[in-house]
Structure 1
């Protein structure tokens, strides 16, 4: 009995679910019927509008052509009538002269004859009949005003509904990713002169394969693209890939999206590790400001009173970089004394990486570079063998130097307000650039025996870091030119 009830209960559940599916499908069909009626009405209205527009164009063309024919007829009529009037008057005058001449010939008086003959001769000499051109000034032929609409008629007979544009295909081999820009190139299998524009959509993702239904980032849309390529600029590569898809549009119809493609966006992304920061450094996102009142103490108290998800919760682990982990420093191990230092939260143990730093040139002290995670809590940046940096000193006398292992080399260049830092871990190269001009400021050559992290210091000033940047092309080119050459700064390495 119990088994039969359970079996019947399962059947009832299945039927209920199936009934719900059928009801939902019925609702969809009813909605489709309503949509079909509405869309058909819109299509008929659009067709009327288009044909009315075509009729208007034809009427306008006809009116213009009729006007030209009437103007041509009026102009020629005037010329022919003027010539006809002149000829009629000349003929009348000539007939009068002829009549006088005949009368003179019939006269028997010699004196009268001579006088009449002389008058007739003088008047005939000046007669308009002998000055007339007996050729029509204008032609009566109007064949140049004839029209032949055979081609246009065939075009009209060939009018059809707009076809759905073909599906574009993104040419992965021609797409480019460099200098934090992405150029996407696509083609159509068959040319289509009806295409008006393209729509490109993209979104960031950490997945290499096909796009998933649920993604962390929404699609971004670029409309009105007239060419078969587009360059996205001002990007921040804070994910591993960017997914792209494109579709073609004509005046009324939109085609299908192309197959999505993923382009890898290699860039170094890190955050400032507030757990390492000196208590006088106030860290907000990727910005730091020196606070003589010990701004970090208040932040620490806030963190203690704030409830947050556990360190190893799914929400945290899903977003955490494999090279980014909880700070090994905390509490008493943070930088202290005169080491106004803060480290990045992501280690560098391979590859080429680049980031930029904006800093206040009025700061009493500022430094940027890399350091080992084991850098001592009292160690100042550049004053131990565990750190390399460029350092600005505005205390008493201004200086701009490259520092490592407590040795400093003055840098003979204008102090920029924005420094680019390039680190090639495998080659043991750490280079600093004017981030605006990409001119080399200084290069260290060293053997990194341990992974390093971005490191910064500031005293009586502020700075901010921009990450998610690719190695700029100019920096890569400069590094290739300098490879194999000895460093002039070997004494600091």
Structure 2
């Protein structure tokens, strides 16, 4: 059964904590035409980079926009180009592909971070929200040396011994499935079930260290 998340522990504003993550009515962001296209990757080998236009001012991209690093102080928000695609309060960045069908797989190197979220979110999700706190995002997170699944501001513990250096994310749009994958077995560790009704983007939250994404991969054999 889902358990309400501890806001101050699991989802922080850059440089300060908040005391409540209750989800009220949020206005969806209105996005202009941009380089986030509906995926046409061959054989569902989704290829994406991180989209700097969406990145919070505390996040820097590196390695040709496939990696993201958290800066504790970050940039002065007034010095970052203002646009409706950028996350304003939360250390979140999107991938630059929209997904509206198919089965897709990608991996993330997580060994240099102790607090992060990985998953998907609706492309039009409000940029005032954090991934996992509303009905428009579905993520797996790691904090306090524990894994969890999160959506609608509720978490479910994920049983996983230790923390691997790299994990996989499996998305089946039509089946309404988002899976966290142990790439060494390989096997799906935990599954989030949902009804996806809008285009999704790969989504990442980061409050420590850095993450490196690996896309364009073939899904490992044996995953269900």
Give the TM-score of the pair, scaled to structure 1. 0.35
Preserved contact between residue 282 and residue 295 of structure 1 (Cα < 8 Å): no
**Closer, same or farther in 2 for the Cα pair 1:441/1:296, shift >3 Å?**
farther
More helix by share: 1
1:286 aligns with 2:66: yes
Structure 1 Cα separation of the partners of residues 55 and 44 of structure 2? 28
Partner of 2:156: 409
Give the gaps of 5 or more residues in structure 2. 1-39
More strand by share: 2
Structure 1 Cα separation of the partners of residues 189 and 44 of structure 2? 24
Residue 122 of structure 2, aligned match among 347, 372, 378: 372
Q: How many residues are treated as equivalent by the alignment?
A: 182
**Closer, same or farther in 2 for the Cα pair 1:334/1:468, shift >3 Å?**
same
Task: Summarize the alignment of residues 244-283 of structure 1 with structure 2, pairs less than 5 Å apart.
Answer: 266-283=44-61
Partner of 2:110: 359
Structure 1 Cα separation of the partners of residues 79 and 48 of structure 2? 21
Deviation per residue, 1:385-410 (Å, 9 max, x gap): 1111111113xxx3211101111011
Equivalent residue of 1:331, what SS? coil
Residue 346 of structure 1, aligned match among 89, 97, 108: 97
Task: Summarize the alignment of residues 209-224 of structure 1 with structure 2, pairs less than 5 Å apart.
Answer: none
Deviation per residue, 1:121-156 (Å, 9 max, x gap): xxxxxxxxxxxxxxxxxxxxxxxxxxxxxxxxxxxx
1:385 aligns with 2:158: no
Task: Summarize the alignment of residues 143-222 of structure 1 with structure 2, pairs less than 5 Å apart.
Answer: none
Preserved contact between residue 57 and residue 80 of structure 2 (Cα < 8 Å): no
Greater relative contact order (Cα < 8 A, sep 6+): 2
CA RMSD of aligned residues (A): 2.3
Preserved contact between residue 391 and residue 403 of structure 1 (Cα < 8 Å): yes
Shift of the alpha carbon at 1:368? 0.1
Give the TM-score of the pair, scaled to structure 2. 0.74
Shift of the alpha carbon at 1:472? 1.6
Preserved contact between residue 131 and residue 137 of structure 2 (Cα < 8 Å): yes
Structure 2 Cα separation of the partners of residues 436 and 282 of structure 1? 29
Preserved contact between residue 281 and residue 296 of structure 1 (Cα < 8 Å): no
Partner of 1:469: 217
Shift of the alpha carbon at 1:331? 2.5
Deviation per residue, 1:398-450 (Å, 9 max, x gap): 32111011110111112322110111111111111012322222111111011
Structure 1 Cα separation of the partners of residues 43 and 102 of structure 2? 14
Residue 186 of structure 2, aligned match among 438, 445, 450: 438
Partner of 1:305: none
Equivalent residue of 2:222, what SS? helix
Structure 2 Cα separation of the partners of residues 371 and 283 of structure 1? 19
**Closer, same or farther in 2 for the Cα pair 1:355/1:388, shift >3 Å?**
same
* Runs of 4+ with deviation above 4 angstroms: 295-301
